[in-house]
Structure 1
Amino acid sequence: MSKSRAGVPPARAAACGSWLALAAMMMFAAPALSQEDRSKARPSAEGISAERLQRVDAFIDAAIDKGQYLGAVTLIARHGKIVSWKAHGKRQIDAPDALDPNAIFRIYSMTKPIASVAALMLMEQGKFQLDDPVSKYLPEFAEVRVFTGGTADAPELRESKRPLTVRHLLIHAAGFTSGETTPPAVLDLIERAELNRAPDLQSYARALSKVPLAADPGARFSYDGVNTNVLCRLVEVWSGQRFDRFLQERVLAPLRMKDTGFTVPVEQRHRIVQMTSSDATGQLIPARSYEGVEAGVTLNPYPSGAGGLYSTAADYLRFAQMLLNGGELEGVSLLSSKTVALMMTNQLGTLEPPQLEFRPGEGFGLGGFVGVDSARRGRLGSVGDFGWSGAASTYFTVDRREGLIAMLMMQHLPEDSPKAPPRISGQFFNLVYQSLVQ
């Protein structure tokens, strides 16, 4: 994942419109699920062993006690009922306050599935089809070129073999970058475009359209936030609204995700979890990239659907439950069940040549991973489960076969260091699934 293009580390952003400030005050007025409203469902009533479920808590507590992580919120729900919602550890390194279950997290790339739902809602309204060329709505992408050699100052280019489509954006196959094989000259050119300084998504898309592709559209999966940000610009064109306003009015407000937004009101910022990292010895420290950056401000000047949202476990549960329900929650219908099924179907077979996985045992749907082979994956789960993660160690999965939702929310930027703490999401999901007895 490219941190600079996906919105990590954050930068101070230009002020949003007055309507957004008012919306933010209303959104964060109260938690979506108060502690009093927590489900009292017994795990055994939902086919989960309470004894086995304790292994989840013990594992998370052990990681925190070892000093690997500061704190975590875990939330597990089955058949529409919360069976476990726990806060572990602290909110700040140098403060004794225990972490609250309603703590606010920067969810970064867990914004992407929400942005994808926003786009698919407009598909259901007939605004576009998946394989429409992007240039039909954004003419600046009509003549995309592919880098074949040369330097950033004198690139050699050719015409792309096929048009860039909306589907390519949703499945991260647009060719903007090509993972570890991306030519350094292309990386240099995309950095020169200064996308993170774009004041809005329109400017972002126009700047990006001038950068050559690293690969042909539809040729390979290459995860990068630029795909989603262009998709969000399309949402603006299709809807006639700023992306953040559309998201608030059509997704967040209907789902009553009151603690989710691109900013956090000043009076609620005490709920934001401190961002941590590790030094060369493995010691837990405040993340250096956050020095001097006020928690709660927008992470980019533009509303980034690639990674710009703050949220809570309780709020994200409402979004995940809507997906598990087939697009509906408490009488509010965002998507049809057929669209959700398509979203959770591996799309990589549409690439040329077809690709079965982007990592062992996992394909990619319209905005998140899709389990395709449990044996190759090497962790417990189901074929067809869906989810994604965020750069600061937030994770979720929706398993429609098991009626299961599981979330692990932390605020830690992993370091590529021999002393860095191990990633714990795999063990977390294993422990959740081993608790299922029916």
Structure 2
Amino acid sequence: VELGWFALTDRMSDIVPEFTGAPRDRATIFHFLTHTTGMPGVWEPRAGGTYDRLADAVTAVCELIPGAVEPGTRCDYSPMANHVLLAEALRRRDPAGRDIRRIVQEDLLDPLGMVDTGLGLRPELRERHIVPDLRGVVPITHRSHENDDPQGLFVAERNEATWVGASSTAADLGRLVDMLNGEGTLEGARVLAPPTIRLARTTWTGDMPNELYRTVALRAGYAVPPASLGLGFNLRGSGIPVHQMGTLTSPSTFGNYGAGSVLFWVDPELDLTFVALTAGLLPQAENIARFQQLSDLAVGAAQ
């Protein structure tokens, strides 16, 4: 958006014309970043598919995931569909014609010195890599064109699955969150402008619940929290909900939570950042409780 490739108000269907059909074709980049496109939250368009190549994933999303409600009327975390099409929007509007791996590498990872992070597992990092233990919690496969393993995406050298399977370290993610805490700049390298960061860490989903966590809360027997989504970020928000970012963090705390195994957040009021990477996936309610406790411990230890 800062470079003028597209605007938050642009419709995805104007950038990716094959994303047709009402009401989803009225969804804008803003709707995709806030998970309010009206599409249901899905983890794979077709069971057992291979989606490690962006072109295949785009085709599957456009053909198989319908728009359920009008964009902007429901918040339904949809990691696969949203991040696939956002990546494709970047790729199609990039003046240099780069693929998504080069865009991520050259525009984010290289400026921040994130040397251990990538879409795919480089050979020199293989000895240090831990394959996620899904423990039956996520009953889907993550296939790769490179091997025959049902979860082979996690060990493949090349990966364009922008919603799952990136490899990283706590130190590298620490550099990412330090950039966010620095309102877009780290050690002289500017990735984003301060107004963009401020916009992204603002809650845009009102009182709507996040349908994913609504289900988790109802099953666990606690109050359904508001979605509190910014542009691509979760926010802790006001009140004291059961929350992976803790109860001692400030309401303005923002970050993200990945597949039950990764959490990072930035508390701009406390000037505190947090990163946790784990290899074993727990059920959602148990994992939220775990990260809530760890987040509160971090705040207590830092003050």
Same-fold call, TM cutoff 0.5: yes
Report the Cα distance in structure 2 between the residues aligned to 1:346 and 1:391, rounded to whole angstroms: 22
1:215 is aligned to 2:69: yes
Residues of 2 paired with 1:421 and 1:257: CA distance? 27
Q: CA RMSD in A?
A: 3.2
C-alpha distance in structure 2 between counterparts of 1:279 and 1:220, whole Å: 29
1:227 aligns with 2:95: no
Q: Distance in 1 between matches of 2:131 and 2:24?
A: 46
Letter in 2 for 1:426: Q
State the SS of the aligned residue for 1:175: coil
Matched, 1:343 2:200: yes
1:167 alignment counterpart: 30
Match in the other structure for 1:390: 258
Give the superposition deviation at 1:241: 1.6
Q: Name which of 55, 61, 75 aligns with 1:202.
A: 55
- Say if 2:263 and 2:277, in contact at 8 Å, map to a contact too: yes
For the pair shown, the structure with the greater C-alpha radius of gyration is 1
Match of 2:21 among 141, 144, 160: 144
Q: Tell whether the 8 Å contact from 2:119 to 2:162 is kept in structure 1 after alignment.
A: no
In the TM superposition, what are the counterparts of 1:65-76 in structure 2 within 5 Å?
none
Identify the residue that residue 156 of structure 2 maps to in structure 1. Answer: 298
Higher RCO (CA < 8 A, seq sep 6+): 1
Contact 2:53 2:161 in 1 (8 A): no
How far, CA to CA, are the matches of 1:414 and 1:343 in structure 2?
Answer: 28
What is the aligned counterpart of 1:330 among 187, 198, 203? Answer: 187
**Structure 1: runs of 5+ lacking an equivalent:** 1-122, 146-159, 180-186, 281-286, 350-354
Show CA shifts across 1:94-120 (max 9, x none). Answer: xxxxxxxxxxxxxxxxxxxxxxxxxxx
Deviations 1:320-356 (A, max 9, x none): 100000000011001111100001011113xxxxx35
Q: Check conservation: 1:198, 1:302, Cα contact below 8 A.
A: no
Cα deviation for residue 366 of structure 1 reads: 0.9
Structure 1 position 414, deviation (Å): 1.9
SS at match of 1:396: strand
Provide the TM-score with structure 2 as the length reference: 0.80
Measured in 2, the distance between the counterparts of 1:241 and 1:288 equals 30
User: Identity across aligned pairs (percent)?
Assistant: 27
Q: Is the 8 A contact 1:374 1:381 kept in 2?
A: no
Which of the residues 272, 288, 306 maps onto 2:129? Answer: 272
Question: Post-superposition shift, 1:267?
Answer: 3.6
Query: What TM-score results when the alignment is normalised by the length of structure 1?
Result: 0.57
* Higher mean displacement: 363-372 or 377-386: 377-386
- Structure with the largest fraction of strand: 1
